[in-house]
Amino acid sequence: MADKDSANSATKKSINNAVKDLQNTSNHGVRSNTKKPENSQSKNDNRAVKIFQQLIVIVIFVFIGAFVGYYFGVKGYEVKLKTEARDIKIINKDNEIADQVDFSRFWEVWQILNEKYIGKPIDPNVLLDGATHGMVASLDDPYTVYLNKDQNKMMLSSLNGKYEGIGAQLGYDDNKNLVIIAPLDGSPAESAGVKAGDIIYKIESESTAGISISEAVNKIRGPAGTPITLTLIREGVDEPFDVTIRRDEIKIDSVTWEDKGAGIAYIRVSRFGDTTNMEWARSVSEIKEQMPNLRGVIVDVRNNPGGYLESAVYISSEFVKSGTVVKEEFSDGTKQNFTVDHQGRLTDDDLNIAILINGGSASASEIVTGALKERKDGTIIGERSFGKGSVQRSEEFSDGAALHVTVAKWITPDNNWIDKTHAKFDDSVYNEIDENGKEIIGGFKPDIEVKLTEDDYNNKKDPQLDKAIEYLQEQK
């Protein structure tokens, strides 16, 4: 503002001086009429005309400057936008813009949209929200996502185990296809026959190509009682097929248990959410009270898409006496060990452990699997797990939105990284080469592989659970 005031002051002085000169010239000319010959009078008149013309030019420039200043001031647009991007004022931006980043293109696009887009008026908050989504999506990491307040609310309700929808966890496969990570126990999706690994080809006849997880969730969720049609692609099925699912209120306990006889307790963990630790503690108390002859435990994390790291550490600590249950490794090479966080009630050395996994077991489920396998000598039964070896942190904003950002990779106590997207073959002892010579990278390879067939599913048979019970019965 100081430079602008100085320019205005100089302009005013120039005008005043020009006016004074004109006045003096006019007065002198009047006096000259009586004292000087005709040719002197003509010179003075010419000088007066020139000064008057200069005055008119100055006034015109002042008017143009005022108009331009007003125009750009109203538009909120910096005159130096194209050459000096850092002169742009950004509200609530505390940090300096990096020297190597030129924000001029962003603001140019912003200005063009506001001036020329046919669908006016444009909500600037919608533009900002879209720009934020795009910036995060440019990282090409399906687990680093920006959620507006509505999307974040839905995500939190999923972890809390209560929302309205079909009851399925979504993700991406190796080819960036939208897939069902796992249908939740007792959910409308499970009842309709949706399976882990199904590719969602279309949602209500609209292609899912390029769709984000949050966009897909917004489309699929809806009021209880309303239908939604998904077009699925399934391995072993020749053509895509439609499944119509009636939405319902999804309210599912994250931990349940059963006495399977012969001193074997079966504990089902369907997610790692806000109430999981409390539900686990209650279940273990009931087991200890009702099963004094306890000799084996089956931990079932099939179709469990994960959740909170802290909950995975808590449940792992129920079985492991001491030491590390999982490690985090950051981009700068630093590591953080997560050790046993309390004295567990299932740490008896004579207690045999079986862990049930499948392709829908991901993230926190795999953390527990790794801890029980490598620190409790548990036996893994079922099918290879999903293979998500990264850790996200949630940055919550004041308006209810959130940024979930991948901050680290997690590795098992024995330093195995089971991520199927970024890990290499030598990063994990659980990788293998199949009969065709292809490297299978990511997830946990079961110690005892048992596949669940279409016939098993349709007839509600569970050979994986049956095998776990049989295995524990054989242990001394």
Q: What is the pLDDT, as a whole number, of residue 62? A: 43
Number of domains within the chain: 3
Q: What is the pLDDT, as a whole number, of residue 184? A: 82
Question: Looking at 388, 409, 445, 467, which residue is catalytic?
Answer: 388
Instruction: Find the domain containing 447 and state its range.
Output: 255-474
78 has catalytic annotation: no
Give 438 or 9, the one with higher predicted confidence.
Answer: 438
Nearest to 250 by CA among 228, 224, 214: 224
Q: What is the pLDDT of residues 344-388, one digit of tens each?
A: 999 999 999 999 999 999 999 999 999 999 999 999 999 999 999
363 has catalytic annotation: yes
Q: What is the pLDDT, as a whole number, of residue 304? A: 92
Domain shared by 189 and 271, yes or no: no
Q: What is the pLDDT, as a whole number, of residue 98? A: 55
Question: Looking at 279, 366, 374, 383, which residue is catalytic?
Answer: 374
Q: Which residues neighbour 454 within 8 Å (Cβ) at sequence distance 6 or greater?
A: 236
Q: What is the pLDDT, as a whole number, of residue 212? A: 82
Cβ 193 vs Cβ 245: under 8 Å: no
Q: Is the pLDDT of residue 151 over 80?
A: yes
Domain shared by 286 and 217, yes or no: no
Q: What is the pLDDT, as a whole number, of residue 157? A: 76
Between helix 149-160 and helix 213-220 the angle, nearest 10°, is 70
- Match 């008896």 to its residue by tokens: 348
Sign of CA pseudo-dihedral 294, 298, 304, 306: positive
Phi-psi bin for 363: left (phi > 0), alpha (psi -120 to 50), beta? left
- Specify if 136 maps to a domain: no
CATH of the domain at 204: 2.30.42.10
Domain shared by 315 and 442, yes or no: yes
**How many Å apart are CA 93 and CA 76, to the nearest integer?**
17
Among 251, 281, 297, residue at a domain's last position: 251
374 has catalytic annotation: yes
Domain shared by 227 and 263, yes or no: no
Domain shared by 397 and 449, yes or no: yes
Q: What is the pLDDT of residues 95-131, one digit of tens each?
A: 555 557 888 999 999 999 999 999 888 999 889 999 9
The mean predicted confidence, pLDDT, of the chain is: 82
Q: What is the pLDDT, as a whole number, of residue 47? A: 53
- Specify if 70 maps to a domain: yes
Question: Looking at 158, 214, 316, 363, which residue is catalytic?
Answer: 363
**How many Å apart are CA 77 and CA 71, to the nearest integer?**
9
Among 197, 226, 251, residue at a domain's last position: 251
Domain shared by 234 and 291, yes or no: no
Cβ 150 vs Cβ 214: under 8 Å: no
Q: What is the pLDDT, as a whole number, of residue 213? A: 81
Cβ 423 vs Cβ 410: under 8 Å: no
Highest mean pLDDT among 11-20, 208-217, 386-395: 386-395
Among 222, 251, 280, residue at a domain's last position: 251
CATH of the domain at 300: 3.90.226.10
Q: What is the pLDDT of residues 44-96, one digit of tens each?
A: 455 544 544 554 444 444 444 444 343 334 333 333 323 333 343 444 444 55
- Specify if 435 maps to a domain: yes
How many of the other CB atoms lie within 10 Å of CB of 253?
16
Domain shared by 232 and 334, yes or no: no
**How many Å apart are CA 473 and CA 21, to the nearest integer?**
113
Q: Is the pLDDT of residue 28 over 80?
A: no
